[in-house]
Chains A and B, each alone.
Chain A
Amino acid sequence: MNTLLELRGIRKHFSLGEKRVEILHGVDIDVLAGQFVAIMGPSGSGKTTCLEILGALSRPSEGSYSFEGRPVHHLDDDSLADLRARRMGFVFQTFNLMPRMSALRNAALPLLYAGVARREREERARDLLDRVGLSHRLEHRPTQLSGGERQRVAIARALANEPRLVLADEPTGNLDEATSREILELFCELHREGRTLVVVTHNDGVASRAQRVIRLRDGRIA
């Protein structure tokens, strides 16, 4: 398997007034294409910051990040946006669906920013919602959907651009046990299809299904 992404010596710090807060202290991570990786660690260990950098949502303060063999840590905002639009999909603990949009329009959102025409956007979003079992909920708004259904819409949205990498932050954190199992099963299915998954979780059940678990403690790999 090829290496999909490679973090080397990643440091991330913020300034709080005159104080500098170090979140990550030189993290090295390699993720192979098609791997299912779980990132675990206690609160404040830097899991979410690590996911931000992996998802090109923020740049590291120091260190290098290569995606598909290309360095991306120095890219400008719009280039990072294009990278996210074409290569990455995100699933969040709080679903982060657009409240005024139907399930169909939510699932099609990344396609809009990727410049896909309307008809194709709708066709692809419809297929994806069908795939996650929501073909009967296309025109429903998030408030008209259950927690599990919302997360399915979010997964459909994450898959809209056929991304190489799907990143999830506590994807079952707001769901009951039965729904969590269904969502986890969906993730395993994606993995079996060959997608690369990086999931931040506290949930041992989720971690147990991953091929590899990276544990963070105080901004370092434990």
Chain B
Amino acid sequence: MGRSLARRLRMLSPVVVDGVAELRAGWRSQMLTLIGLVWGSAAVVLLLSFGVGFTQFLDLGVEKTGDRWTVVQSEYTSAETGGRRPGRRVEFTIDDLDRIRAGVPSALRAAGEILEAASVETPHRTRATIVSAASPEIGEIRNHAIWRGRYYDASDERSGRRVAVIGAELEGMLFADADGLGRSLQIDGVPFQVVGVLAPKGFQLMTNMDLHDRMVFIPLGAGWGLFRDRREVDHIYVEPRRLDDADRMEREIRAALWPLHFLHPEEREAIRFESVPEIMRPVRKVFVALQVLLGVVGTVTLAMSGVSVANLMIAVVDGRRRELAMRRACGARRGDLLLQLMVETLVVVGLGGALGVAMALLITALLGQAPLPPAFPAPRVSASVLLTTFVVLAAVGLSAGIAPARIAARVDPSTALRVT
């Protein structure tokens, strides 16, 4: 066993040299097959990379606007309770927010928010945009990273200071020199001072009404009087302490809010919960399915070129029967020829695969530099893409090599004596 293995290992290097020599000698006849392999390998890498690009795009898009929160929305009741008829509108107030903060242990932080379309004005420009008036915790819940200045805080909230944080894109729209920090703007005619500018987020998912880059963010207290009556909130964002606490947190919120709104214990319509993981679950399933589909399409393309390689190698064996018989006459065992043809096939597949991967890397690099639309993710070549491509290529190479290698191993050594 040990001697046999050592013998085969000694054989490996000359067999690879022979494989390369055969490839070089027959490159013209192998050109079409090689092109097929190059294209097939490039297709696998590109399609998988697009899948990864889409998934990363999705993750990043969600991460930019917070990926852990649950939004609690008020709706209409569906069940009668305590003589109150169904169809009653539930209105959230600061009391609901306080109840959640005080009575929901699994919630890490909560923020009430009012969202309203408003006219935002600077001395020279006016823009219609969306204003978010919310508790300062919203900054962490919705991942509002500050670019310049600061986010408003609890003392701004308590003192009712009219301060605003604006999106990076809106800053450019409102201020001619694109520097709004410390300057004032008017929201529906009410003056606010810009204390911070958000870091640009680019394309985002899970935004409620508009892109954060074009929004204005003010303390909840400043929103009362401007958009709503005092104490009202449109909805409440809650972030669980642990992601797998979301269900428990929902139960605790129900227990905390139901008595406040005189809701029937079985009421499910009046208050609606939407969590990012829950919303994203079907979307992620679609993306996984898309990735699998893209991978299958690429693999099938490569497998088709594998069939072409198998045909080519069978023709090669047929043309080299005498040579293979001569090797047998010189003492080659069947397994030696099996190894030789497998290696030669793998050399062909390896070369085609390497060129294909190189081509795909070039295309992805070019696409990475190209000005793609914001909603069109560039393909991303990850280690898993390269590993998958390698595994698929190895499988194609081994499958394509089996038939020709078996034919080669069965060559009758006495053929070497026959003069043709």
Contacts and interface: CB of A to CB of B under 8 A. Distances in A.
Interface string A163-180: 000000100000000000
Interface stretch (A31-39, A86-94, A187-195, A209-217): A86-94
Contacts of A161: 331
A78 interface: yes
A29 B336 CA distance: 32
Contacts of B418: 48
Interface string A49-69: 001100101100000000000
Given A58-B412, A77-B333, A109 B10 contact: no
Contact of B331 (A81, A118, A169): A81
Q: How large is the interface on B (under 10, 10 to 19, 20 to 34, 35 or more residues)?
A: 20 to 34
A110 B417 contact: no
Interface in B1-55: 3, 6-7, 10-11, 13-14, 18, 21-22, 25
A197 to B, nearest CB: 16
Contacts of B331: 81-82, 84-86, 110, 113-114, 161
Nearest to A78: B333
B306 interface: no
A166 B327 CA distance: 16
B414 A52 contact: yes
B370 interface: no
A157 interface: yes
A57 B330 contact: no
Contacts of A84: 328-331, 413
B323 A92 contact: no
A115 interface: yes
Given A77-B334, A113-B332, A113-B336, A118 B10 contact: yes
Contacts of B102: none
Interface string A198-219: 0000000000000000000000
B6 A115 contact: yes
Interface of A: 48, 51-52, 55, 57-58, 77-78, 81-82, 84-86, 90, 92-94, 96, 98-101, 105, 109-110, 112-118, 157, 161, 169
Interface of B: 3, 6-7, 10-11, 13-14, 18, 21-22, 25, 322-323, 326-336, 412-414, 416-419
Given A57-B328, A82-B333, A118-B13, 18 more contacts: A48-B417, A48-B418, A57-B417, A58-B414, A81-B328, A84-B331, A85-B330, A85-B331, A92-B416, A96-B329, A98-B18, A99-B323, A110-B330, A112-B14, A113-B11, A113-B327, A113-B336, A169-B417
